[in-house]
């Protein structure tokens, strides 16, 4: 994952925008993902996250899940990728809807990609609680026998060095302690590139999503069962 001041500036702006379009509070919310075809025999992947996974501002066919499905197909991996992203979700909200999401699928997923934590950070919630919630999500997936991978988030600089020291290591630490996969910063290669972003300057446009999916596809493919 690339480091540097520009990345922190972009993350800070993204967090401010996400806060503006996030529902208030942490009341549990659930959203049943589109039903995958029960007869489909290839790998089943669930993209479980917030607005970046949900495809904020894009047509359904342009979101991360369908883009990743296409990117995997170009690598010869015939997988179904289900969009289980909810804009504004905190890790607590994600934990609250995890069982509902899983139970709405026709069969056990081969991989759940967890992309949560940005909304915890932008609200200044305790990194310890973020860690606890993500750990609980990963533990529940493991209990159900579902492989998982995390995408990384970083703390905005205005929250201070102490917050960043507590927040930033969460994803790598959990990947090491739980055996989950670890993917880099979701917006790597897209952040700060206006031609790859929506007019808000923060969320990826269709081109940006396609590039993100193409970048992540090899790692995702490596985490899926071989034919």
As annotated, the active-site residues are: 51, 200, 203
Please give the radius of gyration of the chain, using alpha carbons only, rounded to the nearest integer: 16
110 vs 17: CA distance, rounded Å: 33
CA dihedral 19, 25, 30, 31 (to 10 degrees): -30
Burial of 174 (0-12, 13-18, 19+ CB in 10 A): buried
According to DSSP, the residues that pair with 114 across neighbouring strands are 48, 150
**C-beta atoms surrounding 162 within 10 Å:** 10
43 vs 34: CA distance, rounded Å: 16
């Amino acid at each position: 994952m690339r480091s540097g001041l520009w990345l922190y500036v972009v993350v800070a702006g993204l967090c401010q925008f996400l806060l503006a379009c996030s529902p208030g509070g942490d009341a549990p919310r659930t959203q049943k993902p589109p039903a995958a075809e029960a007869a489909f025999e290839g790998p089943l992947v669930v993209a479980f996250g917030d607005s970046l996974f949900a495809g904020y501002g894009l047509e359904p066919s342009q979101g991360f899940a369908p883009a990743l499905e296409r990117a995997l197909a170009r690598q010869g991996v015939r997988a179904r990728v289900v969009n289980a992203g909810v804009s504004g979700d905190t890790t607590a909200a994600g934990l609250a809807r995890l069982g509902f999401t899983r139970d709405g699928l026709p069969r056990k997923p081969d991989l759940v990609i967890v992309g949560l934590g940005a909304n915890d950070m932008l609200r200044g919630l305790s990194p310890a609680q973020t860690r606890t919630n993500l750990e609980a999500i990963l533990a529940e997936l493991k209990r159900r026998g579902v492989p998982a991978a995390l995408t990384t988030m970083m703390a905005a600089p205005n929250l201070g060095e102490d917050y960043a020291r507590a927040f930033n290591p969460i994803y790598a630490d959990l990947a090491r302690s739980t055996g989950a996969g670890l993917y880099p910063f979701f917006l790597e290669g897209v952040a700060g590139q206006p031609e790859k972003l929506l007019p808000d300057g923060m969320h990826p446009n269709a081109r940006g999503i396609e590039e993100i999916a193409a970048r992540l596809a090899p790692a995702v493919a490596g985490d899926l069962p071989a034919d």
